[in-house]
Amino acid sequence: MFRKIKQFLDSVQFEMKKVSWPTWEELKGSTYVVLSLSLLIAVFLFVVDMVLTRILNILL
């Protein structure tokens, strides 16, 4: 069992060496994109929800 765990950890270490980590600037840029799009989608869903609520209130 310990041999399998060691083999797994060795495989993880080997694969982690292949990973291409982003630079700090790339990470900040990606973060801004994700936060901006999340805010945009939240506002869009809020507006759609308000419009549909008013339509349903008028119909009912």
CA distance 54 to 33: 32
Contact 52, 60 (CB under 8 A): no
Position 1 confidence tier, pLDDT thresholds 50, 70, 90 = confident
Query: Could you tell me the two tokens for 22?
Result: 């982003």
pLDDT of 42 reads: 98
pLDDT of 3 reads: 93
- pLDDT exceeding 90 applies to what percent of the chain? 97
Domain boundaries, the chain: 21-60
- pLDDT exceeding 70 applies to what percent of the chain? 100
